[in-house]
Amino acid sequence: MNRHLKVAFMVAPFLAVLGYIGADYYNESKANKTKVIQLVPEGHCDVINKSCVLKSGDFKVNVSDTEGVTEVNSTFPLDSATLFLVDKADNMTSYPLGMQKSPYYWRSNTALRGFVSNKGESYKLRLIAKIKGGQYISEFYTQTTK
């Protein structure tokens, strides 16, 4: 091993550490930028019959309603979740959901069941779920099938 190789082998670990620090800074600044990601329903959405999953990559949100209490359950912890009921004139009523036990479960009393409790009825909903460094948004229709 000549002197140049020795020097190169001595310098390489410092460059590797420098690269690691640089990559960490880059990834951190990228993660801190606020991102808006759209969630799309996975198949048919029926909130009343607990069959409504919104999806974006590995992130999934299950929206369900039990006796007037609408619940949101996600695969990643949320910072906050707000559900909006949108009528035909595009007027919104917002329902900020409260955290239950863990940041994976959020719920609130809503008027949704009153609008779509009968078979065949549908209603437009919007959901904003905030996570660290971004927010997931979705506009979707729930239709009661049973």
Residues binding other proteins (CB under 8 A): 1-5, 8-9, 12, 15-16, 19, 22-23, 26-27
CA-to-CA distance for 120 and 106, rounded, in angstroms?
Answer: 27
What is the closest distance, in whole angstroms, from the C-beta atom of residue 7 to other proteins in the complex? 9
Is the CB of 21 or the CB of 92 nearer to other proteins? 21
Is the CB of 35 or the CB of 50 nearer to other proteins? 35
What is the closest distance, in whole angstroms, from the C-beta atom of residue 25 to other proteins in the complex? 11
Is the CB of 24 or the CB of 87 nearer to other proteins? 24
What is the closest distance, in whole angstroms, from the C-beta atom of residue 29 to other proteins in the complex? 12
Secondary structure in 3-state letters for 50-94: CECEEEECCEEEEEEEECCEEEEEECCCCCEEEEEEECCCCCEEE
CA distances from 79 to 27, 72, 106, 135 (A): 21, 13, 10, 9
